[in-house]
Amino acid sequence: MKPPRDLRVVYQETMHELLGQNPDIVLLEADLSSAITTNKIDARFSNRIINCGIQEANMMGVAAGLNVSGLKPYVHSFAPFVSRRAYDQVFLSIGYAKRDVFILGSDGGISTEHNGGTHMSFEDIALMRAIPGSTVLEMSDDIMFEHILKQSLSFKGLTYVRIKRRGMKRLYPEDATFEIGKGNVIKDGCDATIIATGIMLEEVLNAHEQLKAHGIDAAIIDMFSIKPIDKSLLFQYAEKTGLIITAENHNLVGGLFSAVTEALSPHKIAIIDGIGVKESFGQVGLTPYLKETYHLTAEAIVKKVLSYKNH
Amino acid sequence: MKLEHFANDIRLTTLEMLKHKTFGHLGGSMSIVETLSVLYGKHMRVDPQNPTDPLRDYFVLSKGHAGPALYATLALKGFFDKSLLKTLNDDNTTLPSNCDMNITKGIDMTTGSLGQGFSAAVGIAKGLQIQNKNNHVYVIVGDGELNEGQCYEAMMFAVKHKLHNLTVFIDDNKLQLDGFRTDISDTADFKQRFNAFGFHTQTINGHDVHAIDSAINEAKNTKGKPTVIILDTIKGKGIKAFENRADNHHMRFSDHDNTILEETIKALKEGQS
């Protein structure tokens, strides 16, 4: 088995391969190509790797125009810059104009670490989810990201994919498959269901072990496809376990918790609660500190589950 | 058809449409009539029977609120039936106030949030350059629209990428919604500004179809850089009583206004070819 790769390397290597296969693919950067390592892609593709400079608004409009001309743009910048910084351009020139554009937001939420509050997006998923017709995904590991990138040529409309550039642990076997709109059951269980994405899955797996010691058999679902969300899987586990807890590296407003609650609200068959960022801006720090600060930890998840199970 | 006559018909048809609706974006529609006449009457390669023909030249009306003038032009060219013009801004119409590529035949880009069409036009031009295609891209931006910072990002990009397949028209009609541009926001000289960015620049009378024709020829023959054609125009051009009025951006016509419109429409009909 190959060792896990950083997700930025997955982007570089997979897009390199896809650029060679498909003459319609164009990559767009806003002066962060070295951060995502697309600057290392073979120079023979340089006419289809456009570094716009520090101009996210124009980059989104250019992406829309490239698609009008018949090309398939892949746009990257840090998560806050492709979302809140250029939101009206993404919303209108891409979303409303029904353009097929793939937007990669790197280091969403606390993953931006040392760049701090200005670069920390706890609302990117909420913003992208609110655009009609959008697809919103958060990647869990390198296997998933490569799989999704290789499917992405057929994606229609606006697709937003959030990744952590470096240091993601391997979660899936190399032959795993992924489908937009389908959640992946990581562990089955009957007492509670914990739903998470991205870096929170590591915490959820730890929480799972701790809950076992309390005699609680929790199911874990990787809901990497936040929109469209897997309603039938949610319904199945809501009915089976009666308790749904979400965990997200994002504001509770508009993210995974909101998506799950919206999907299940008509059914009234489970208690739904979540851990996530509450009414806070970002700040500087390393991941362990930031996880503690925003209560994005296994302990917080366990506490939340037990608060409903120890009645 | 002579370009002057086509311009006359576009102006007439636009005014009939707005008068029928009883309100609309009159001023900024009137100021681009001659440019639309030269583009669609002579220069642009378009096929009304096949609006998305990949061989076509592209047109982006970045000042999307001037949609009525473009709809009149497209109807006169045969992209859709003239009777459709009476549905402007109606419920469920295919002719909204601002241009929408997904519902109107002949519209190449959805516009209305100012500044965004400029970037999209630049993106289309870049895409054609990547594909080694020789289609030309034309975009009209408003002088007020150049308040938007995004325009300057688009300009930088167009020059850096040597997009000589892009021609930008500035409809310099001196007015923005709240009044005269120089009073509100921007007193700088567009020619100097675009020169400084690296554009090939021309300033012409935006109501002289022959000057527009020559300027487009010059733009097409310019290599290695995009062209800007600064159109010295009059907001509300063609209806003397409305010209250059600070309140002509979006008008709701009074009885008196309607009398003026009727007289103008009558005179334009007499000028028809």
Please give the average per-residue pLDDT across A158-177, as a whole number. Answer: 97
CA atoms of A302 and B265, how far apart (whole Å) = 76
CA atoms of B54 and B206, how far apart (whole Å) = 29
B44 at interface of A, judged by CB pairs closer than 8 A: no
Chain B residues within 8 A of A65 when measuring between CB atoms: 109, 119-127
Chain B residues within 8 A of A50 when measuring between CB atoms: 126, 161
- pLDDT tens for residues A102-113? 999 999 999 999
CB contact under 8 A, B157 and A62: yes
Reply yes or no on whether the pLDDT at A310 is more than 90: no
Reply yes or no on whether the pLDDT at A212 is more than 90: yes
Out of B112, B149, B150, closest to residue A61 by CB: B150
Fold equal for A7-163 and A184-309:
yes
- B contact residues 124-163, partner A, Cβ 8 Å cutoff: 124-128, 130-131, 133, 149-150, 153-154, 156-157, 160-161
**Residue among B38, B56, B46 nearest B134 (CA):** B56
Phi, psi dihedrals of residue A217, rounded to the nearest 5°: -100, 100
Amino acid at A120: M
Residues B29-55 as b/e (b if ≥16 CB within 10 A, e otherwise) read bbbbbbbbbbbbbebbebebeebeeee
Out of A53, A66, A92, closest to residue B116 by CB: A92
The predicted structure's pLDDT at residue A1: 78
Q: DSSP E strands: which ranges in A14-153?
A: 25-29, 49-51, 72-78, 101-106, 135-138
- The string of DSSP letters for A153-219 reads GG--SEEEEEE-SS-PPP-S-TT----TT--EEEE--SSEEEEE-TTHHHHHHHHHHHHHHTT--EE
Other C-beta atoms lying within 10 Å of the C-beta of residue B221: 10
Strand A225-227's sheet: what is its strand order? A49-51, A25-29, A72-78, A101-106, A158-163, A135-138, A225-227
CA atoms of B244 and B248, how far apart (whole Å) = 8
Query: Which class does domain A184-309 fall in?
Result: alpha beta
Which tokens go with A271? Answer: 């208690």
CA atoms of A233 and B94, how far apart (whole Å) = 40
Chain A residues within 8 A of B64 when measuring between CB atoms: none
Q: Which fold has domain A7-163?
A: Rossmann fold (3.40.50)
A53 at interface of B, judged by CB pairs closer than 8 A: yes
- A contact residues 74-133, partner B, Cβ 8 Å cutoff: 88-89, 92-93, 96-98
Out of B125, B149, B157, closest to residue A52 by CB: B157
The predicted structure's pLDDT at residue A93: 98
Please give the average per-residue pLDDT across A252-264, as a whole number. Answer: 97
The predicted structure's pLDDT at residue B94: 97
CB contact under 8 A, B153 and A55: yes
DSSP, collapsed to helix, strand or coil, labels residue A151 as helix
Query: Which class does domain B3-270 fall in?
Result: alpha beta
Pairing of strands A101-106, A72-78: parallel
Q: What is the mean pLDDT of chain A?
A: 97
For residue B101, the chain A residue with the least C-alpha distance is A97
* A3 DSSP 8-state letter: P
Chain A residues within 8 A of B108 when measuring between CB atoms: 68
The predicted structure's pLDDT at residue A311: 56
Cα torsion angle, A71, B74, B258, B26, sign: positive
Domain ranges of chain A: 7-163, 184-309
Interface A:B, Cβ pairs < 8 A: 107
The predicted structure's pLDDT at residue A2: 83
The predicted structure's pLDDT at residue A264: 95
The predicted structure's pLDDT at residue B272: 80
A50 at interface of B, judged by CB pairs closer than 8 A: yes
CB contact under 8 A, B109 and A65: yes
Pairing of strands A184-187, A218-222: antiparallel
CA atoms of B83 and B92, how far apart (whole Å) = 15
Q: What percent of chain A has pLDDT over 70?
A: 100
Asked whether A208 and A165 are in contact (CB, 8 A), the reply is no
- pLDDT tens for residues A135-147? 999 999 999 999 9
Phi, psi dihedrals of residue A221, rounded to the nearest 5°: -120, 130
Domain ranges of chain B: 3-270
- The string of DSSP letters for A239-288 reads HHHSEEEEEEEEETTTSHHHHHHHHHTTT--SEEEEEEE-S-------HH
- The string of DSSP letters for chain B reads --HHHHHHHHHHHHHHHHHHHTEE--HHHHTTHHHHHHIIIII----TTSTT-TTSPEEEESSGGGHHHHHHHHHHHTSS-GGGGGGTT-TT-S--SS--TTTSTT--S---STTHHHHHHHHHHHHHHHTT----EEEEEETTGGGSTHHHHHHHHHHHTT-TTEEEEEEE-SEETTEEHHHHT--S-HHHHHHHHT-EEEEEETT-HHHHHHHHHHHHT--SS-EEEEEE--TTTT-TTTTT-TT-SSEE--HHHHHHHHHHHHHHHHT--
Residues A70-97 as b/e (b if ≥16 CB within 10 A, e otherwise) read ebbbbbbbbbbbbbebbbebbbbbbbbb
A136 at interface of B, judged by CB pairs closer than 8 A: no
A34 at interface of B, judged by CB pairs closer than 8 A: no
- pLDDT tens for residues A238-253? 999 999 999 999 999 9
Out of B58, B113, B119, closest to residue A62 by CB: B119
- Residues of chain B scoring pLDDT < 70: 273
